[in-house]
Amino acid sequence: MIIGMGTDLANIERIGGTIDRFGDRFIQRCFTEIEQAKSERRKERIASYAKRWAAKEACSKALGTGLRMGVAWREMGVVNLPSGKPTMQLTGGALIRLEGLIPNGLFPYIHVTITDDHPWAQAFVVIEALPHAPA
């Protein structure tokens, strides 16, 4: 059962300008350690951050909260499964919100797709409730 879905389109140059202006303060405020480590290793570092930004925006929309109602940037982080497929790891208020959306006896699964084509980064997030824990 689909619980929520969201999408976002981010301008890579805008994210780059924000990083240029605020530097580490912006990165620390918005991105998890895992996201920072992944993005800092990338040749297209700014595009990597922009894709993760778009995924957070899309996830907040799928949760039905936006970035309010106790949901913060660092509580939503793009992580990769062993296969390399991206998903979202939620903590804090974002996790509490997710748990409140999932019917009893079902388990949450968050589908994520991210892409970029300069100057755009795009993400789609679908939250699904399944009868068994995702593998």
* Digitized pLDDT (tens) for each residue of the chain, 135 residues in all: 999 999 999 999 999 999 999 999 999 999 999 999 999 999 999 999 999 999 999 999 999 987 777 789 999 999 999 999 999 999 999 999 999 999 999 999 999 999 999 999 999 999 999 998 776
For the chain, give the longest Cα–Cα distance.
Answer: 47
Confidence (pTM): 0.93
pLDDT (0 to 100) of residue 68: 72
pLDDT (0 to 100) of residue 101: 96
- Name the token pair of 92: 């804090």
Alpha-carbon distance of 101 to 95, in angstroms, equals 10
Alpha-carbon distance of 15 to 6, in angstroms, equals 20
* Domains of the chain with bracketed CATH: 2-130 (3.90.470.20)
